[in-house]
Structure 1
Amino acid sequence: MDVSEQDDVDAACTSEESEFEPILKPYQLVGVNFLLLLHRKNIGGAILADEMGLGKTVQAVTYLTLLRHLYNDPGPHLIVCPASVLENWERELKKWCPSFSIIMFHGAGRTAYSKELSSLGKAGYPPPFNVLLVCYSLFERRSAQQKDDRKALKRWRWSCVLMDEAHVLKDKGSFRWRNLMAVAQHARQRLMLTGTPLQNDLHELWSLLEFMMPDIFATGDIDLKKLLNAEDHELISRIKSILGPFILRRLKSDVMQQLVPKIQHVNFVTMDSEQFQAYNYAIDEYRGACQARSAKSTSNFSNNVVGLIPKRQISNYFMQFRKIANHPLLIRRIYSDKDVDRIAKLLYPKGAFGFECSLERATQELRKYNDFAIHQLLVSYGDSGTKGALTDEHVLGSAKCQALAELLPSLANDGHRVLIFSQWTTMLDILEWTLEVIGVTYRRLDGGTPVTERQTIVDTFNNDRSIFACLLSTRAGGQGLNLIGADTVIIHDMDFNPQMDRQAEDRCHRIGQQKPVTIYRLVTKGSVDENIYEIARRKLVLDAAILQSGAELEDSTDVPEKTMGEILASLLLVNIPIVMLEDFAHDQQNLIACLEDRFV
């Protein structure tokens, strides 16, 4: 059997113009040989599913350059990845594939190359590159320009279509999945990189398999949600054996004994009286809506709670509970309707709502704002010290922010550096304010950060130890980035999909990390946070049963997986007393005074 050694990598990747030494770790050489073996056997697809932080990117680019060196296959190759990691892919390709011509087909680069590539494709000329780097957004949007660009990509026969963070293709019915498949279906090989191939359930994993090798895994119109039952132990065992030849997955614990440990903490935080009252008021409001519908329905309230409320409204209520559990400023409770009318009259002449809408319309819109959004308007358009703007006491009005106010100064004093993740940009805005009150330095990266600036933010944070924290959105900042400058991760609000949080954790628990990494999950006690935590744990058990050798789905580890409606139903049938926590130990004013003593 042909086996590629480090000498082959040296010969393929070394350049006289660079001092870079292309050294692979032993398990990475195994990964490259796995891909080369499938190439020799003409296998049309593979999933490299190593745990996050083991260097999938390096293995993939080494594979591409060895295709040229050993098999005279110069491409063309198409690499599709999230916008956050485009620059990192370009950087790694230039290091490991020095002889390759690389085009980044995104942003200004896409505009510059679009017409040229289209005309070359129409004329039947070979592509003027070895690797074309594109973003998933090219396959998600419906603009005429993007349709033309996708049409141009279909004209070439790709050697390898490589998809980074390939779990984004979990929905077979999505516009993204169908458009990318139209480009990739005739490629010699479709290679998927993802540390989290199983996101929520088995049918999403099957979507990846069908994309990888449609001839084998295509299912037509079969309803996989009904067919693939996660509780069927025999089915799970059979799927595991089917996947064996096509998926390579190694865990850090398996291949890197020297990797620093990852320590997990779940911090259950307690709401103070104000947040607790806001949460229970929302539950009472939902209970009242259900009772009102029940009175008009033949259904029994206690037996058919879920069926009484439309699905969209269930989702809205559930989101409302999640918001309050994270921070009560995410709803409108402090500003009354009377306050809103006054603020609208104050800010309307200043153009806060534009100059085309009426005052009445502006007032209606403002009533939909949450407390924090109204505060931001007052700060942006009002004078200094505007009446009605919130104070620093309000930003520490959530159990999670109070926990951060205790935890972060201690971490800073001990020399740690922190990544803080949230799913919502508004919550990140509130967290920015919180960090300013606490008195620590930070940077921020979310979906609104220009792609051209993201790698600079990453490099600055990693290299400048005076920056204590980095605020990141779970989706944009949790995939592909290398943030080993931090050694602590705080998951402010958990995702229903635990793999998103695992991706976030491993931004700093990866190759190159020298310190033990500590993960803190903040869970608000007595709220839907606890239900989300249970659901996430159950999904991780399934992930281990499918993808890890020796792991099985044990009945003893089962956690009832509830739907949003079932969770809400259980809330409605329990009377929750409003407890006034008179001796609450972390009164907001005391917290601010404590912080001033420590940092000012």
Structure 2
Amino acid sequence: MARPGRRQTGARRTTPREQRRTRRRDLVSVLTAAAREVEAAARRGRVTPGVRATFQAVALMLREERARVLAGAGGADGHRAEQLKRLDGIATVLATTAVRDAGLLALLADDAVVSDAARSRRRELLRELGVEPEPEQAAPAQVATAPAGTGRQVVPQSVVSRQLANPFLAPDFSAAPQRAARPQRLAGWELLGPLLASFERAGGGAPACMALPVPTARFTPAGHELMPHQGQLVAAAAAGHRTFLLADEPGLGKTAQALLAAEAADAYPLLVVVPNVVKTNWAREAARWTPHRAATVVQGDGETVDGFADVVVVNYDVLDRHARWLGDLGFRGMVVDEAHFIKNPTSQRSQHVLALADRIRTRTARPLLMALTGTPLINDVDDFRAIWQFLGWTDGGTPRGELMETLEATGLTPADPGFSAAARRCVIDLGIVRRRKVDVAADIPARRIADLPVELDGPAGRSIRAAERDLARRMVARYETALANRSAGVPDGGIDTELVRRVARAELKEASTAQSGENVFSMMRRIGLAKAGLAADYAAQLARSAGKVVFFAKHVDVMDAAEEAFARQGVRYSSIRGDQTPTVRQANVDAFVEDPDVAVAVCSLTAAGVGLNLQVASNVVLAELSWTDAEQTQAIDRSHRIGQTEPVTAWRIIAAQTIDARIAELVEGKAGLAARALDGSDEEASATADVRLGALVALLTDALGAPAGQGAAAAS
């Protein structure tokens, strides 16, 4: 029986096509009204369970509609753009509302459980649109973002802000290649073992590097220049190659190649996982090679992380506590530096890296994945397993995707004589890039100095920075006292540079005669000791990657600390010190030069800086800075001398944000001045100022609040 007062008609049920047309016309309006209801409730502080159900239902429907429009179901391009703009407006309302209530904010997480009330509310909203809800299907299993056993997880606040800025952006799989069904000809064969064996048994003339295109400089920032071998890899990325095992020897610029490859592939945001010792250097190199891309370094719990940065640098040691949010950030590329760190697939470190790579592959079509290491093999060919799995070439046990297809295309099986060579070529063509210094000697200078800044964390770093502040305050007090005791002050509130130099000289004189207390000499010794472990770690990495390394330090206790670190890591070393007899000294030199198992020569910067022939090594680590460029040059020339067949790289380990960095700049500046004088330049060369004095002048000038550049001028 019809209701009174209501006209009965012969209404028919709408067809599915009409339902979809109605939904497309009215969905945004319905979602906007529902979002505004939630917003009003949050403002009044009355967020009931029903309000939360509406909030989650709107969020679910918003994601679905956005994915549908992005997939091309929104009509003409202009109409689709307008629809996306309106949907983004609703997303903004929900995001700003969620900030008011922690319960709403939790509903935006990818792993948030959809409540029965939210499902019911979603069905109600669909019926308002005249659409009969489809039967619900079981939700797909979540992709793991971290291995089992992950400990305490943190999410930096700036990362939350980034997610709130656009929390409903669905992964874009539109560019994913459509592969045919997996071929079956090799399905019954065990393939990973023969693949690994093909590298173990390769002859001396076997190829070690994929074919690379002509170098490009298209992505190189103004004022910088890539070497040809670097430009080749960037060109490969620009041409569409997306996985690389970059195994160039140290000193050939792998960092720049990776950053510019990401630029060529538009692989941002980019995740970079590195050892702690090179974390700061990666941020500095990112600022140099991709200056228009913001970079951030994850320290500790990530309180200082910039969640909107394009390049996120994190070290292996803290990866466990950040694995979850890193997996959800939406990276389109991932670089693993010193990739031999993940050679053990069962370690937690490796599992986190592999899980993150899998997560990126599920969210991004053809991401850029790069493993950087000068040492792809340390023990045996099994070290390849985890690296190949990270790159997506295998699943840990069998070839997958493109590798399987190329193996099928050979027409061979492991039983055929030519399979080994063909299989090795297939793997190399997936992206193995290996160049040695001797191979590209024409590209690089015969001798170069590379600065490696490191952060001094923990109590030692805090103590050093506090001592530096105390030294600056002491000099400021002396400066202000001298200024107050004279009749004429400094005009316009500026700085009396001559008085600054006199105060610095007085401080330096007292430091040279002091038996105790904190001064510039004791501070540099403490900095050297704090850097010893990091410098030793880097020297050990170099030794594994490129052969023998010469390690220089100024102080005996720094040498002791480095040798203890080498012993813990099982790295054999020779010790060359000033208190040794000539016989002992020569025996240690001979051991380093002649014994292939002695990887490092630990040398005193003053005692071993002259009179030694150590050209068996092409890498030098300067753990502590010299006060003069001449002393530094003499140390480097122990390796860079007649008989050396490879270019020499000297790695200066510099404590960032300390007086150590000032001294490095001053030594470099005085070196340029000396070169101009020796080269007969027309420019008048003034006497080389004492670097120690210059460092104190710069420290005091900065403490007095000089404008940028005035401190450097006063130190000259």
Q: Could you say whether these structures have the same fold, taking a TM-score greater than 0.5 normalized by the shorter chain as the test? A: no
Query: TM-score, normalising length from structure 2?
Result: 0.33
TM-score (norm 1): 0.39
Highest relative contact order (Cα 8 Å, sep 6+), 1 or 2? 1
Pair member with larger Rg: 2
